[in-house]
């Protein structure tokens, strides 16, 4: 198995074929000629270049290419140059504008007045020229014009000749740009639901109004019979199928069969099911992303795909009562590798839960890593654990934990098989995955025949148990009638239980499914009073988690999209929202977030 870093999208487009969303840098300047402006030109442009370099050196698009920045052709001292900059940014597909300045400028004459960008302003903290005064003035203008902007101002005073970007400024610039690029990558893409509503789960009701107005996504629906049509008519790449099947036979080891003897499929039937689920995986990916190889086979329409950035599969029950389940398909598509090597995951939601799929998409677009779909299934109190197992929880598990376990499918990255240089479990961006990493995740995974009580049509569930104590962030987007979308965030850690304790607790549910024990970071108040309160306040039966404590990035992204955050345990010092949010109150910031999001409305609404 060879894993190759490829700067290429799943649909085969090279990086230079794509009109990426960009960050536009606007160097604004005091417009007074005759000595003032001339003396500031170099310093102002140096700020712009430093910001652009910081962003491109540190951030990537989800497909692995460095984030692109565009700098205005000149400094901006007034409306003429502001207009020229706006025209350039429109041509260059700029999604986020960062205005930078070391000095006083004319606020409403130099500000970004376009409605198609999210905005930030960095005012240099120096004494020679009043960059902070311009920052305050232009942020007031943004608020007054209904164009909220993020304000960036260094904590410490810098000398005029200091071209460095302070660490606190770097953090805010990167947080803004990371979220803005996520906004841009979603715009004009599609969410494709294969099938319909699964088992009455509310998140499966694909809400086109939300997708369009808040995310800029087109909603599309494809009947599950399309998979059968393509299998029956051979609408898939036969060469890739042979390659995928050989890889599957070599690296995907079949696990124990949980079914009673008389209900087990025969070895011949299982072999047929393996071929079926591999074809199904190719086909679902082709439906979402397209595949130019299909055109060579005469399937021109199918080759186009549906311009998807994410999707989901209904599965239960109409499909799984009849055909092999989608567990292999969902697990592989969501992982950072397959038979073609390391490659960008495609977000693909179990049970067609589009709201959980969007939650997964948010984190993936900002870190390039896999996101893990899970049922938020059980809260285990310390007393209950001790009663059942005889072991008193300790360490990060001491206050209890939540069992995250999906019904058969989750990205293999969640197994914790990938290690860092210190041997600690991590989840890497896809472009950093190696042969060793992929093999470790595959080795930790068994593919157990599906439980026939749930999956009468057969199939294979991805059985793994998360290894190590990884920092993770669990999140969930919910839709509330009369309120709209709200986001929930819980930072915490995966918990590595003693093997006998893990076995006892896991075998009380379905041991053939991917399993993670999650201990949220507790604050002692509100929804984070204890782990039980996190479970009790969670808004749905599903959640997603990603590697690392990414709550601050998610909060910034949600503010851009005007989605309020209903619960989180992110440290106050890490939260970065548009400056105008403070006008809605500084004591009760959760309430202020709700009112600000309602006032400004959805980004595309």
Helix/strand/coil percent split, the chain, to 5: 40, 20, 40
Q: Which of 351, 367, 491, 553 is catalytic?
A: 351
Whether 319 and 195 have beta carbons less than 8 Å apart is answered as yes
Active site residue 469: no
Whether 273 and 236 have beta carbons less than 8 Å apart is answered as no
The distance between the two most distant Cα atoms of the chain, rounded to a whole number of Å, is 92
CB-neighbour burial class of residue 378 (10 A; exposed 0-12, middle 13-18, buried 19+): middle
What tokens were used for 106?
């004319």
CA-closest candidate to residue 467, choices 485, 443, 490, 433: 443
Q: Which helix (H) or strand (E) holds 520?
A: strand 515-520
Whether 117 and 24 have beta carbons less than 8 Å apart is answered as yes
Active site residue 375: yes
Q: Say how many CA atoms lie within 13 Å of 573 toward its Cβ.
A: 3
Whether 576 and 596 have beta carbons less than 8 Å apart is answered as no
Q: Which of 63, 375, 491, 496 is catalytic?
A: 375
For residue 402, list its beta bridge partners. Answer: 379, 518
CA-closest candidate to residue 126, choices 25, 52, 43: 43
How many other C-beta atoms lie within 10 A of the C-beta of residue 106? 21
Locate all alpha helices (DSSP H) within 515-604, ordered by sequence.
531-537, 551-561, 589-600
- Whether the upstream peptide bond of residue 317 has omega within 30° of 0, thus cis, is yes
| Pairing mode of beta strands 218-222, 190-194 | parallel
Q: Would you name the residues annotated as active-site residues? A: 351, 375
């Amino acid at each position: 198995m060879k894993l190759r870093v490829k700067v290429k999208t799943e649909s085969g487009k090279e990086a230079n074929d794509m009109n990426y969303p960009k960050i536009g840098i606007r160097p604004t300047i005091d417009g007074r000629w005759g000595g003032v402006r001339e003396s500031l030109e170099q310093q102002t442009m140096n700020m712009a270049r430093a910001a652009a370099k910081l962003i491109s050196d540190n951030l990537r698009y989800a497909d692995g290419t460095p984030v692109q920045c565009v700098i205005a052709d000149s400094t901006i001292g007034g409306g003429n140059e502001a207009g020229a900059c706006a025209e350039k940014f429109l041509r260059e597909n700029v999604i986020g504008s960062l205005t930078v300045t070391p000095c006083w400028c004319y606020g409403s004459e130099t500000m970004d007045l376009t409605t198609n960008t999210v905005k930030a302003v960095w005012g240099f903290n120096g004494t020679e020229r009043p960059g902070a005064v311009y920052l305050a003035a232009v942020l007031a203008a943004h608020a007054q014009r209904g164009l909220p902007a993020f304000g960036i101002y260094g904590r410490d005073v810098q000398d005029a000749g200091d071209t460095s970007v302070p660490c606190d400024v770097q953090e805010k610039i990167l947080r803004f740009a990371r979220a803005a690029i996520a906004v841009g990558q979603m715009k004009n893409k599609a969410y494709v639901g294969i099938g319909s509503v699964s088992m009455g789960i509310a998140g499966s009701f694909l809400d086109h109004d939300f997708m369009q107005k808040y995310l800029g996504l087109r909603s599309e629906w494809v009947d599950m019979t399309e998979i059968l049509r393509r299998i029956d008519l051979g609408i898939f790449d036969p060469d890739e199928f042979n390659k995928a099947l050989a890889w599957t036979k070599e690296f995907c080891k079949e696990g124990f069969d949980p079914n009673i003897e008389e209900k087990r499929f025969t070895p011949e039937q299982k072999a047929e099911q393996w071929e079926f689920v591999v074809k199904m995986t190719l086909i679902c990916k082709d439906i979402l992303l397209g595949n130019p190889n299909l055109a060579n086979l005469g399937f021109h329409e199918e080759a186009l795909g549906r311009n998807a950035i994410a999707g989901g599969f209904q599965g239960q029950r109409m499909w799984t009562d009849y055909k092999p389940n989608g567990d292999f398909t969902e697990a592989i598509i969501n992982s950072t590798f397959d038979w073609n090597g390391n490659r960008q995951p495609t977000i693909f939601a179990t049970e067609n839960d589009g709201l959980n799929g969007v939650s997964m998409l948010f984190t993936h677009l900002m870190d390039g890593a896999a996101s893990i779909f899970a049922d938020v299934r059980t809260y285990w109190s310390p007393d209950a654990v001790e009663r059942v197992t005889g072991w008193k929880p300790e360490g990060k598990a001491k206050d209890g934990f939540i069992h995250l376990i999906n019904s058969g499918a989750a990205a293999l990255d969640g197994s914790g098989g990938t290690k860092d240089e210190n041997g600690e479990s991590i989840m890497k961006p896809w472009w950093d995955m190696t042969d060793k990493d992929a093999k470790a995740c595959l080795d930790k995974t068994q593919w157990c025949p599906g439980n026939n009580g749930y999956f009468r049509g057969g199939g294979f569930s991805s059985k793994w148990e998360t290894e190590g104590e990884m920092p993770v962030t669990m999140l969930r987007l919910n839709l509330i009638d009369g309120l709209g979308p709200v986001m929930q965030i819980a930072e915490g850690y995966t918990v590595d239980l003693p093997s006998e304790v893990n076995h006892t607790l896991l075998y009380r549910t379905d041991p053939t499914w991917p399993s993670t024990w999650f201990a949220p970071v507790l604050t002692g108040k509100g929804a984070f009073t204890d782990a039980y309160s996190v479970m009790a306040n969670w808004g749905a039966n599903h959640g997603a988690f990603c590697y690392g404590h990414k709550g601050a990035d998610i909060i910034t992204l949600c503010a851009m999209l005007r989605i309020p955050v209903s619960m989180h345990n992110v440290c106050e010092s890490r939260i970065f929202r548009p400056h105008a949010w403070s006008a809605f109150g500084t004591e009760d910031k959760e309430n202020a977030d709700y009112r600000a999001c309602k006032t400004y409305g959805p980004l595309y609404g």
